[in-house]
Structure 1
Amino acid sequence: MQRFTDCVAVVTGAGSGIGAQTAVRLAQEGAKVILAGRTLSKLQSTADLINRSSENAVSEIFQTDVTSEEDVQELTTFVNQKYGKLHVLINNAGVSGKSRILELNASEWDRIQETNLKSVFLVSKHLGKLMMETGSDHYPAIVNVASLSGHKAGAMIPHYSSSKAAVINFTKALAAELAPYGIRVNSVSPGFAETPLTADGLKNKRFEEAIIKNTALRRVGSSEEIANVIVFAASKEASYMTGSDLLVDGGWLIT
Structure 2
Amino acid sequence: MIKALAFDLDGTLLNSEKKLPVGAKKILRELYQKGMEILIVTGRPYSSTLPTLKDLDLPITAICYNGGKIVDTSIEDNKDKVLVNKILPKDVAKDLIDFVKRKDIEINLFQDDICYVRSLDSYSTKIYVKNSGLIPILVDINKISPDNITKGVIIDNDENFLNDLKGQLKNLMGDRAYITFTQAQYLEVLNKDINKGKALTEVLASKGIKMEECMAFGDSENDLEMIQGVGHGVAMKNAIDDVKKLSKYVTEKTNDEDGIEIFLKKYFEEKLN
Q: What TM-score do the two structures reach when normalised by structure 2?
A: 0.40
**Higher strand proportion:** 2
Q: Between Structure 1 and Structure 2, whose CA radius of gyration is higher?
A: 2
Q: Which structure has greater helix proportion?
A: 1
TM-score by length of 1: 0.42
